[in-house]
A and B are shown apart, each in its own frame.
Chain A
Amino acid sequence: MAGSHLSVVIDLSPSQWHLSSLHQPYPLDISAFISQLLAFLNAHIAFKHENTLAVFGAFPGKSTLLYSSADPPAETPSNDANYFPPLKLVDSTMMHRIVQNLETLTQNNGDDKAPSALVGALTKALCYINRLTLEFNAATTNATEGLEPLALPDSRILILSVSPDQTASYIPVMNSIFSAQKLKVTIDACQIYGPDTVFLQQAAHLTGGSYIYLERRDALLQYLTMAFLPPPSVRQTISVPTQDKIDFRAACFCHKNIIDVGFVCSVCLSIFCQPVPVCSTCRQVLLTKFPFKTLQRLNAARSSLPSSPSQPRNSSAPSSPQKTNGRTPSRTEAPLGPGGLPHSGSISLNNSTTNGAISSR
């Protein structure tokens, strides 16, 4: 039986790692993180001889391959009697490339405030798995017989993130999730520092992986080995933490409110929290205007809704107590949803005056 493939996407944003190293009570700096990560990667390699590994780094504004077992580096590290050579190869190659990339980052004087290119790294990981899948299928007789291509057994992507969600990357992240579903790849996610990310929660949920928010940052290695080391085929028999609460409600494009009932443009699928006469997303390109009759009808329908969409439904929503990390769910910390429009804090949403909002256009 073939081994399992693991692609790791690590978020290497210097500013976020700096903040993480200062965060009390459990600071974790990047060197401690990398040493724990290397131990985890070594465990994966040592687990089974056929196991394969690829590591992708997401630096600010750029993503790159750090290590892959399909294209080993030309220079082999010097022999060390106390070190299993494949492990040494992983460790030295990864360290070398991380340092190299961080150095070019400082040389270029590029602003390290740029958000890290998690999407780029994630799509690269998917392309890499696609390549392995093609090679796997070419090796079997399957391709020549014209049968459906087989999925690579037991392949997964682990995302180790320290950055918050970027609203602009919503569509690419969702596209990546759907391609992972097509390739039958499990996405695991671990948020090491910063707020919960809704995108990674959805990625893990939709692909059958697990999402963990790291409470005790000093115990990273334990989390990694307990939750993410077993390949997906073994997961059924051992208990891996899954999240129970997952928010599939959308945020409107106009005010970024999380809504229950929204109004959706039939052309571009933008979501609004109140009936609007013109679609703000696609009016430039496609001249989308909505008929006035619809507005009247929807306004009438809206007043009959039992709960107004803009009110947080913490009390009515049957959310079970958090099992994985015990934090109380709060709506205010997860206002991220689809769309790329900046949050307009000045607009206060007033439910009773929807007609005023329309006439102001």
Chain B
Amino acid sequence: MDSDSDISISDYDEQNLSRSKAKGKGKATDKDKRKKEKAKRKPKDVQAYTWEANFTRSWETVQEDERGSLQGAVDDWMVRGRRKRLLAPQNAIRRTIIRHMVLLIDLSSSMMDRDMRPTRFAVTLQYAREFIIEWFDQNPLGQMAVVGMRAGVGERISDMSGNPQDVLKSISDRHKLEPTGEPSLQNSIEMARNSMNHLPTHSSREILIIFGSLTTCDPGNIHETLDECVKNKIRISIVALAAEMKICRELCDKTGGQFGVAMNEGHFKDLLFEIVPPPAQRGIIPRPATGGTTATAAATTANAAADLMMMGFPTRLPDASPPSLCQRFLCPRCLAKVCDVPTDCDICGLMIVSSPHLARSYHHLFPVKPYTAVASFDAVPDPSATSSCHACSRPFPTTAAPPANVGEGMSAIGRYRCPDCNTDFCSDCDVFVHDVIHCCPGCSK
């Protein structure tokens, strides 16, 4: 007898439950019950995986302080960002500004699992969209392609393109991407690898895999593919939605990518967005060493990655010019019309950028120094002269916060000081300056 029906009589229930446990495979109703039981057994402070959690109690993660204010909890979030910034390397690191990425999306049937609401597939598509927008915003000279893993083959969804709209359009129609069959890591990685083989050495080659399955069906030995990727300097990063697989971990470790298993929707997004900032280049010794041999060694390693690129700066056609389908820019070499920059000229293949696009990448190369938290009023030389934030003129608090509310890396008096110009800023401006403006209002650089 099958336990498919919604029988609510208690002894039947009991029976069903035990039977399904014995089988190791239950129907939907039983599964839910097991989930609930499991969630109950778990201590509440441990962050549960999505498939274990009964329902999220988001209001419980925010703790009020004794005055009933939520400020402490909000500050904690901001401090996390501050600490991350302080841990970041201070001196000029070399980042790969010209990036090429293939986004591999798992379109196997396991993406229809409902552990993320409404389905893994829907969540993945939505986050992929946000990721693409943010990625192109941060990497204006980058190019991206999308490949789907479906029914045992790799399926090209969009070609390598520098235009975010093209990429977004290719994944906008979800009916064309309906998940089916088994995924094949090897097939799709091979497809991505072949599409990046011709790229110049100074640009990065990256593969980002959103992987929901726990299996892969490959035609050959995937370790050979892995070795080829290492040889071709392709960096593979994987965000897994189900659990860690050894081959996934190995792919990332050997190629220098990042690997993460998403615990829930928020964590999934965090993992994806960690890929957005341009990666530091590997194998570079940043400082010239004093010894002759090491200096030359450093020079040769740097040499391998640096290159001079020929770029064209297009002429923008005036609005009054005769109408045509694509009437915005002219390629400076062959005078062909191009619709949008940055792009490669369709006719002569010249890389066409406009100077603002180059400028958009500069902040990765010249970051603002992190501000230091001012610990107490003793460190403020003249509190009356600097009574408000140097940038937004919000008045600083005049009393120090109780130490219980002050986390590590936070200022009790809400002041954060630039090490160069010695002016104080409020915490909002600290975040805004480092995340958005990338330019200190005090020293104007």
Contact = CB atoms under 8 A, between A and B. Distances in A.
A305 B310 CA distance: 12
Contacts of B354: 248
Nearest to B330: A318
A294 B318 contact: no
Interface stretch (A23-31, A228-236, A265-273, A347-355): A265-273
Contacts of A70: 393
Interface string B108-143: 000000000000000000000000000000000000
A288 B306 contact: yes
A123 B441 contact: yes
A302 B310 CA distance: 9
A307 B436 CA distance: 39
B225 interface: no
Contact of A174 (B299, B362, B389): B362
Given A124-B392, A286-B92, A286-B302, A295 B365 contact: no
Interface stretch (A89-97, A176-184, A209-217): A176-184
Interface stretch (A37-45, A77-85, A164-172): A164-172
Most buried by A among B91, B311, B321, B335: B311
B358 interface: yes
B173 interface: no
Interface in A280-303: 282, 285-291, 294-295, 298, 301-302
Given A68-B393, A171-B359, A266 B350 contact: no
Contact of A291 (B303, B317, B395): B303
Q: Give the most central of B203, B361, B391: most A CB within 10 Å.
A: B391
A338 interface: yes
Contacts of B362: 171, 174-175, 269
Give the size range of A's interface with the partner. Answer: 35 or more
Interface in B306-353: 306-321, 330, 332-335, 350
A70 to B, nearest CB: 8
A264 B358 CA distance: 10
B392 A320 contact: no
Residue with the highest number of chain A CB atoms closer than 10 Å, among B287, B305, B332, B440: B332
B319 to A, nearest CB: 6
Contacts of B302: 286-289
Interface stretch (A9-17, A126-134, A153-161): A126-134
Contacts of B314: 248-249
Given A174-B356, A266-B97, A306 B333 contact: yes
B322 to A, nearest CB: 10
Interface residues of B, number: 71
A162 interface: no
Contacts of B361: 269
A259 interface: yes
Contacts of A151: none
A319 interface: yes
Which one of A68, A267, A337 has the highest number of Cβ atoms from chain B below 10 Å of its Cβ? A267
B360 A263 contact: no
B309 A263 contact: yes
Interface stretch (B3-11, B21-29, B243-251, B426-434): B426-434
Interface in B380-411: 388-395
Majority SS of interface residues in chain B?
loop
Overall SS of chain A's interface:
mixed
Given A244-B320, A262-B313, A172 B365 contact: no
B286 interface: yes
B359 A174 contact: yes
A246 B202 CA distance: 31
A334 interface: no
Contact of B356 (A168, A169, A182, A202): A202
Contacts of B365: 268-269
B370 to A, nearest CB: 17
Interface in A301-331: 301-302, 305-307, 313, 317-320
Interface of A: 63, 65, 68, 70-71, 117, 119-120, 123-124, 126-128, 130-131, 134, 168-172, 174-179, 182-183, 202, 206, 244-246, 248-250, 259-269, 271-272, 275-276, 279, 282, 285-291, 294-295, 298, 301-302, 305-307, 313, 317-320, 337-338
22 contacts: A63-B441, A63-B444, A71-B388, A131-B394, A131-B428, A171-B439, A172-B445, A175-B439, A261-B310, A261-B312, A263-B309, A264-B310, A271-B311, A271-B358, A285-B287, A287-B295, A287-B298, A289-B299, A306-B333, A306-B334, A318-B330, A320-B321
Given A126-B437, A264-B308, 4 more contacts: A123-B433, A127-B389, A288-B306, A338-B359
The 9 nearest A-B residue pairs measured at CB: A127-B391, A260-B332, A266-B202, A174-B359, A250-B355, A123-B441, A131-B392, A320-B318, A119-B444
Interface of B: 91-92, 94, 97-98, 202-203, 284, 286-288, 295, 298-299, 302-303, 305-321, 330, 332-335, 350, 354-356, 358-363, 365-366, 388-395, 428-429, 432-433, 436-442, 444-445
